[in-house]
Structures are given as C-alpha cells and as structure tokens.
Amino acid sequence: MLRMKSTCERCSASLGLADQAYICSFECTYCPRCAEQLSHSCPNCQGELVTRPPRTRSPTEVPDHRFKAKLEKLLG
C-alpha cells in the first residue's frame, strides 16, 4: 500500500491526501514546485518523479470493519 507522506521532502510544504504531489518508486515525496525544480528526478535514487494518486480519506477510515482490522494488523 502506498504511504502518503504529509510533507515535501525538500521544502517541508504541507501535502494533504488530495493535494497534488510527486513520488518516485521508493515513495520519496515532493511538492509540484520542488519536483519541477528537480526536473522530475528524485535526488535520493535518481528515479523518475511521477504524479502521486490522490486519496480522499485515510485507509483506516474505510467503513468495512474487517478491512480496517486487517489493515491495522498489517501496519501494527
């Protein structure tokens, strides 16, 4: 499962679940401005920075209690 980081790794800008952000395959996360300044190349792994898919809510807020319990067990 994709880990949705809440801040840009370069400038510490706040990034909400639905905000536009860019990630590499290791989930390094950057705001649009920093991704542009980095030419969409991750400075940590040199991987390509691509648009992060937006989420409207946290996976632990899913109404299916069985899924939530399984998820908490996996993450716990």
Distance of CA 13 to the CA centre of its chain: 13
Q: Is residue 38 scored above 90 in pLDDT?
A: yes
| Tokens linked to 1 | 């499962």
Give the model's confidence band at 29: pLDDT under 50 very low, under 70 low, under 90 confident, else very high.
Answer: very high
Average pLDDT over residues 19-29: 95
Strand order in the sheet with 22-23: 29-30, 22-23, 50-51
3 pLDDT above the threshold of 90: no
For the stretch 45-64, pLDDT in tens is 999 999 998 877 665 555 66
Confidence of residue 70 (pLDDT cuts 50, 70, 90): confident
Residue with tokens 């648009």: 51
